[in-house]
Structure 1
Amino acid sequence: MIPVAAAIIENEQGMILIARRKEGKSQGGLWEFPGGKIEVDETAEDCLRRELLEEMNIAIEPYAFCGENDHFYGDVHIRLVAYKAKFLSGEIKLIDHDDYTWVGRAQLVEYEFAPADVKFVEMLSC
């Protein structure tokens, strides 16, 4: 099982940050809540702070556990742990993604998300 963290980042206007994975990567072309693999001896919150700084050049503050979702991509088992987070600072620069956008909760269903993220889309869009 691979532990992965995802950040559901809200800005001051209540919009949520989503990002599209680059083609050629696992789940390429699909949208996700940004995050990454949790390293050994790292909390999910610390992982999210590190990953968002590395992959998007932004500072965030995770503040509330949203849930987790076990998902199998073929024979690869991931446990996706999601946290709500506040956007603190930075100008987004993409590394592992080819696009990003800020969307309202109701608009989340208009995007094709990676299967492991769908549970959180459903939670947020109701």
Structure 2
Amino acid sequence: MTQINFSVKGLIVRNHEFLALHKVSSRCEYFDLPGGKMKQNESAEETLRREILEETSLLVRPIRLLHQWDFINDDYLIMGVIYLCEILEGEIKLSNEHDYYEWLPLNEDSIPLLTPSLAQSISHLNFETL
């Protein structure tokens, strides 16, 4: 039986760059957006704020829903949404899930650096209007 999860990711934009996190793993070659799986009785925006605070120590405000994404393999399905976010306060202090981060240029050249499921989801965005 396939497990189904719902996840929320944040595209945190600052100075025409976005925050990308690298997961601790010798097999991980891509960056991810901050965020994670929804817990019972949480809204998507509550999940987003909680996960970003846990992963980065940043307090953020979701501005608007940008797109949906999904990841499918033999064991599970992750369906999720991506929100455009702004930082309200804090300095980046990564959790033990991630080993480093980068502020990547908010343009098409950065898309291949993201996990393929997220890259495909944000490739249609008009970065000039974010």
Q: State the alpha-carbon separation in 1 of the partners of residues 50 and 29 from structure 2.
A: 23
The answer for unaligned runs of 5 or more in structure 1 is none
Following superposition, the deviation at residue 110 of structure 1 comes to 5.0
Following superposition, the deviation at residue 48 of structure 1 comes to 1.0
CA RMSD, 1 decimal:
1.9
**Structure of larger gyration radius:** 2
Mapping of residues 77-92 of structure 1, within 5 Å: 77-92=77-92
Secondary structure at 1:94 match in 2: coil
Q: State the alpha-carbon separation in 1 of the partners of residues 126 and 110 from structure 2.
A: 6
Following superposition, the deviation at residue 17 of structure 1 comes to 0.7
Identity, % of aligned pairs?
Answer: 28
Matching residue of 1:14? 16
Matching residue of 1:72? 72
Aligned length: 122
Secondary structure at 1:100 match in 2: strand
Matching residue of 1:123? 124
Secondary structure at 1:54 match in 2: helix
**Residues 108 and 121 of structure 1 are in contact (CA less than 8 Å); yes or no, is this contact kept in structure 2?**
no
Normalised by the length of structure 2, the TM-score is: 0.83
Normalised by the length of structure 1, the TM-score is: 0.86
Secondary structure at 2:124 match in 1: helix
The answer for unaligned runs of 5 or more in structure 2 is none
Q: State the alpha-carbon separation in 2 of the partners of residues 102 and 56 from structure 1.
A: 13
Amino acid at match of 1:20: H
